[in-house]
Amino acid sequence: MPVSSRKKQSLLTRAQAARLFSTLRGKQPVPQVELHHRTALQLLIATILSAQCTDQRVNQVTPALSRRYRTARDYAIADTAELERLIKSTGFFRSKARNIIGCCRALLDRFAGEVPDTMEALVTLPGVGRKTANVVLGNHFRKPAVVVDTHVKRVSQRLGLTASENPDRIEADLQRLLPPDEWTVGSQRILLHGRYVCLARKPKCGECGIYDHCRWKGKLPR
C-alpha cells in the first residue's frame, strides 16, 4: 500500500485494538514460533539464519548444525568453509557464517558461553538486532517481547495498528496497544496471520478471521 494512502488511514484506538486482538486470539489460541529449537543457543542461531529465508528451510538445516555444533565454543572455533556449506541453502551464507562465528566468540568472551537474557546484552552480539533479540527473549526466556518482521510490519500497517515504516517505532506502537503479557503472543499472532493469510501480494481476504476489523483500503471484497 502506498505511503500516502496509509497515512490517510485512521489508526485504531486501544479499545478497537483490544477487540481485534481478542478476535485474533480466538483464531490462534496458542501461537508458537515455528523455528525448531530446544535451547536458547539453537533458537539464536536459527533466528540469525532466518533472515531472508523461510522458517521451513531453516528447520531443514538446523538438525545437522545441532549435531555438529553443540555449544557456543563449537561455533566459535568452527571451520568457516564447513559452516558455510552446512547453511548455504539459507542464503547469504557467507555473512551468516561470519555473524554466527562472531556471535559465539562474543558469547564466550563476555557471557561465559551462555546466551544472555536481556535486550541490552543481546544486541551487542554480531548479527543480532532487536528482532532477533526479541525472538529469543519472548520464545525462550518467556520475557515480554514484540517481534517485528516483514509480516508484522505489513499486517500492522494494514490493520491500522501503526503508520510507521520503522521497525523500532512499530514495536513501540504495538507495545502501547498490548498489555506486556500479550506482547510475545500478540506479535506472534500478527506474524502468523501475515505469513498464512494476509499475504503481501495476494492476501486471502476470504479466509481472514479478522476481516471485519480490517480498515485496509486494499482489502478484497468477500
Q: Name the residue ranges covered by the structural domains of the chain.
A: 3-32+145-213, 40-139
Catalytic residue among 8, 27, 55, 131: 131
CATH architecture for the domain at 40-139: Orthogonal Bundle (1.10)
Angle between helices 130-139 and 183-196 (to 10 degrees): 110
What's the CATH code, domain 3-32+145-213?
A: 1.10.1670.10
Catalytic residue among 7, 117, 149, 212: 149
Q: Known catalytic residue: 149?
A: yes
**Tens of pLDDT, residues 73-117:** 999 999 999 999 999 999 999 999 999 999 999 999 999 999 999
Q: Known catalytic residue: 131?
A: yes
Model confidence, pTM: 0.92
- Tell me the C-alpha distance between 219 and 222, whole Å: 9
Amino acid in the structure at residue 76: A
| pLDDT tens, N- to C-terminus, the chain (222 residues) | 444 444 456 899 999 999 999 999 999 999 999 999 999 999 999 999 999 999 999 999 999 999 999 999 999 999 999 999 999 999 999 999 999 999 999 999 999 999 999 999 999 999 999 999 999 999 999 999 999 999 999 999 999 999 999 999 999 999 999 999 999 999 999 999 999 999 999 999 999 999 999 989 999 998
Taking a C-beta distance cutoff of 8 angstroms, is the pair 62, 36 a contact? yes
